[in-house]
Amino acid sequence: MPSTPHPIAATTLPLAEWYRGAARDLPWRRREFHDEYAAWGTLVSEFMLQQTPVNRVIPHLEAWLARWPTPRALAAASPADVVHQWANLGYPRRALWLHRAAIEITDRHDGVVPRDVDALLKLSGIGDYTARAVAVFAYGDRHPVVDTNTRRVLARAVLGQAQPGSPSRRDLDLMDAMLPVDDADAAVFNAAAMELGATVCIARAPRCEACPLIETCAWVAAGRPDTGDTRRRQAAFEGSDRQARGAVLRLLRDAAPRAVLLETVLPEWPDPLQRDRAIDSLIADGLAEADGEMLSLPR
DNA sequence: AAACCGGGGCA
DNA sequence: TGCCCAGGTTT
């Protein structure tokens, strides 16, 4: 008669087995991807995946890496080319951060993406998630990797709550306590938790009937209570400054490499003050550049 | 801790 | 229409 399964094994083993059979075939999970681009490929993919869904990232990722296959190659590019190549991925400041990170990697790390989490955290645009994702998925080290999917899986399977609370260090601590001891097993556990949250334990209508953790899930055991959505509603996009910024930047991308006359930038925009505010903020962010009466992508 | 930052897909 | 997305930075 075997003893009661270790609480970690109770989730680790079914999750790992499920992942072997259910993991999507994504570019950054292929052997050739790592052979060709090493940790740089993982880093670029993680930048693009920050708040942009997987399916929208894939074509952009391949085009980006084909053009700039190393940190040194990207570091030598102009900001204008970088912002233009980023296209409509959204949150264009990420493009500048990635460019800056490439320069930092070239200057401070001899063109090699660092392996150390603290070194990764010092790079532009890299926070808790991305630093650990690179260390784990590119280098195979043992760290907790916690994204929005993992936080939801932990909230339900472990804490018995329908939705995660606001992000905090506790997420990392909890995931750290659950990680298998072995490096490779820990990496699979990290990836599997994210995959489960992305494909089964999804935000709106979780597919519990397909979940490998249904036997031990605290939320299911509690009768799937609606514990209330603690997240904050995002402000409306229509009529927002973000929409104005996006419209200006799209115009600059379409005109590139040429500059445009300031007077010709969204002359019909409903709120001229908002348009001017958008232009100023883009310049402040380094996403646009003014030269006299002309506006363009940053040189 | 909260605000800000794009854009598209889907119910 | 509202919700969601392999987050990070700034205040």
Distance in angstroms (rounded) separating the CA atoms of residues A144 and A19: 17
Q: Are residues A71 and A150 in the same domain?
A: yes
Supply the CATH number for residue A195's domain.
1.10.340.30
What proportion of chain A, given as a percentage, has pLDDT over 90? 89
Catalytic residues of A, by residue number, are 46
What proportion of chain A, given as a percentage, has pLDDT over 70? 95
Q: Which amino acid is at A172?
A: L
DSSP states of A96-148? HHHHHHHHHHHHHSTTS---SHHHHHTSTT--HHHHHHHHHHTT--------H
Rounded to whole angstroms, the distance from the CA of residue A215 to the C1' of nucleotide C5 is: 28
Nucleotide nearest to A94 (CA to C1'): C8
Nucleotide nearest to A28 (CA to C1'): C6
Nucleotide nearest to A56 (CA to C1'): B8
Chain C nucleotides near the protein (CB, 7 A): 2-9
Q: Are residues A112 and A198 in the same domain?
A: yes
Distance in angstroms (rounded) separating the CA atoms of residues A152 and A162: 8
Q: Are residues A197 and A262 in the same domain?
A: no
Rounded to whole angstroms, the distance from the CA of residue A7 to the C1' of nucleotide B7 is: 41
Q: Are residues A23 and A103 in the same domain?
A: yes
Q: Are residues A128 and A64 in the same domain?
A: yes
Q: Are residues A147 and A83 in the same domain?
A: yes
Q: Are residues A163 and A114 in the same domain?
A: yes
Q: Which CA-bearing residue is nearest the C1' of B11?
A: A204
Handedness of CA A111, A113, A116, A122 (dihedral sign): positive
Q: In the numeric block, which tokens belong to residue A194?
A: 């994210």
Q: Which long-range contacts (CB under 8 A, 24 or more apart) does A111-115 make?
A: A111/A70, A111/A71, A111/A72, A112/A39, A112/A71, A113/A38, A113/A39, A113/A40, A113/A42, A113/A43, A113/A71, A113/A138, A115/A39, A115/A139, A115/A141
- Mean pLDDT value across residues A85-104: 98
Task: State residue A226's pLDDT score.
Answer: 86
Rounded to whole angstroms, the distance from the CA of residue A2 to the C1' of nucleotide C8 is: 46
Structural domain that includes position A270: 241-296
Q: Are residues A192 and A279 in the same domain?
A: no
- Mean pLDDT value across residues A191-211: 96
Task: State residue A228's pLDDT score.
Answer: 66
Q: What is the DSSP letter of A82?
A: H
Q: Which amino acid is at A168?
A: S
Residues 195-214 of A with CB under 7 A from strand B: 204-205
For strand B, is any atom closer than 7 Å to the CB of A169?
Answer: no
Collapsed DSSP state (helix, strand, coil) of residue A289: strand
Mean pLDDT (chain A) is 94
Collapsed DSSP state (helix, strand, coil) of residue A40: helix
Q: What is the DSSP letter of A159?
A: T
Could you give the number of structural domains in chain A? Answer: 2
Q: What is the DSSP letter of A28?
A: G
Task: State residue A198's pLDDT score.
Answer: 97
Position A6 pLDDT exceeds 60 = no
Q: Are residues A135 and A24 in the same domain?
A: yes
- Mean pLDDT value across residues A110-118: 98
